[in-house]
Amino acid sequence: MRGPRPPLERALLSWFKSAARDLPWRQTRDPYAILVSEVMLQQTQVERVILRYLRWLERWPTAEALAGASAADVILEWQGLGYNRRAVNLHRAARTVAERGWPDDLTQLPGVGPYTAAAVGNFAFGHDVLPVDTNVARILERTGERFGSPCAQALFDLGATVCLARIPRCGVCPLADGCPSRGSRYEPLRKQSRFEGSFRQRRAAALRAVAAGEQPDDGEALAALARDGLVTLREGAAALPG
C-alpha cells in the first residue's frame, strides 16, 4: 500500500479539484474512446479536438464500428486535423482490437508508442504508470518531483495552463512554494518548421485533391502519401484506399 502523498503531490491534486478542465474524454474509461482522444491530441490543440472527438464517436462509437469502416471514410473524417497518417494507424488499431481484443502490451497496436500506451493504460485500464508528454516532462524537470500515476490529468492541466514553456505563471502555481525553479524564465523553444511552402503542405494539398476526386500532378507528394497508406496509385491514377 502506498504511503502518504508528498506535499507537492497533495498540493497539485487539491488545486486540480477546482481547476480541472472539463474535457469529454475524462468522462469515460472506455479504452477505445480514450485511444481516439489520445491519437487526436498528439499533434492537435485541445480546443480543436473536442468537437471532432465527439463527432467521431457519434459516427464510430466502438472499435468494432471503426474497424468496419473503409479507410477512405476514415481519412475523409480526419480531414482538418492534420498528420493524416494518424487516421490510418487508428483505423488499423481498431481492426486489430476488433479481431484480437486489447493486447496486454498496447504498443503492439499500430501507431501506439510508449506515451499513448501509458495514457490508455492509466486512464482506461488503471495501470500504475504516469504518461509523460512534453508538459509533464517540463514539470518533472522544473520541480525535481516524482509524481504518481493519479496525478496525470492534473499535470496535463498544470502544464497547459500554468507551468508554461517560456514564462510560467508561478504566481498562481499550486507548486510554487516547493518548486526550486520558481521565478525562472526560459528561452523560446525551437519553432516547428513552417508549414507554408513545406513538403507537408504539398502532401496535404495532394490528399485534399484526391479526396475531392481530382488528380494532382505532384508525383512526389502522391508517392509519399501512398507509402503511408493514405492513397492508392494504380496506372497513374490516385484514389483513397478502400
Residue 31 lies in a domain: yes
* Choice among 9, 38, 64, 77 that is catalytic: 38
DSSP letters, 131-169, are ---HHHHHHHHHH-----GGGHHHHHHHHHHTS-SSS--
Give 11-63 pLDDT, tens digit per residue: 999 999 999 999 999 999 999 999 999 999 998 999 999 999 999 999 999 99
pLDDT score for 3: 56
pLDDT score for 189: 61
pLDDT score for 1: 45
Q: Are residues 206 and 118 in the same domain?
A: no
User: Do the beta carbons of residue 12 and residue 174 sit within 8 Å?
Assistant: yes
Cα separation, 211 vs 156, whole angstroms: 35
DSSP conformation class of 42: T
Q: Based on the structure, what is the number of domains in the chain? A: 2
Residue 219 lies in a domain: yes
* Three cell numbers, residue 47: 480546443
CA dihedral (25, 29, 30, 35) in degrees, to 10, reads 50
Residue 132 lies in a domain: no
Q: Are residues 121 and 215 in the same domain?
A: no
Residue 153 lies in a domain: no
Of 100, 125, 150, the last residue of a domain is 125
Residues contacting 55, CB < 8 A, separation 6+: 77
Residue 75 lies in a domain: yes
Of 59, 91, 125, the last residue of a domain is 125
Q: What is the mean pLDDT of the chain?
A: 92
Q: Are residues 27 and 117 in the same domain?
A: yes
pLDDT score for 208: 85
pLDDT score for 190: 62
pLDDT score for 2: 58
Which pTM value belongs to this model?
Answer: 0.86
Kindly list the distances between the CA atom of residue 56 and the CA atoms of 46, 109, 134, 135, in Å, as whole numbers in the listed order: 15, 19, 26, 26
Closest CA to 157 of 16, 10, 32, 44: 16
Residue 151 lies in a domain: no
Residue 134 lies in a domain: no
Query: The domain that contains 97 carries what CATH number?
Result: 1.10.340.30
Q: Are residues 119 and 36 in the same domain?
A: yes
DSSP conformation class of 59: H
Of 125, 141, 172, the last residue of a domain is 125
CA dihedral (232, 233, 238, 239) in degrees, to 10, reads -30
* Three cell numbers, residue 222: 502522391
232 bridge partner residues: 239
User: Do the beta carbons of residue 158 and residue 175 sit within 8 Å?
Assistant: yes
Residue position matching grid coordinates 502490451: 105
Point out the residues of the chain with pLDDT beneath 50. Answer: 1
Q: Which range of residues forms the domain containing residue 99?
A: 21-125
Query: Is 38 considered catalytic here?
Result: yes
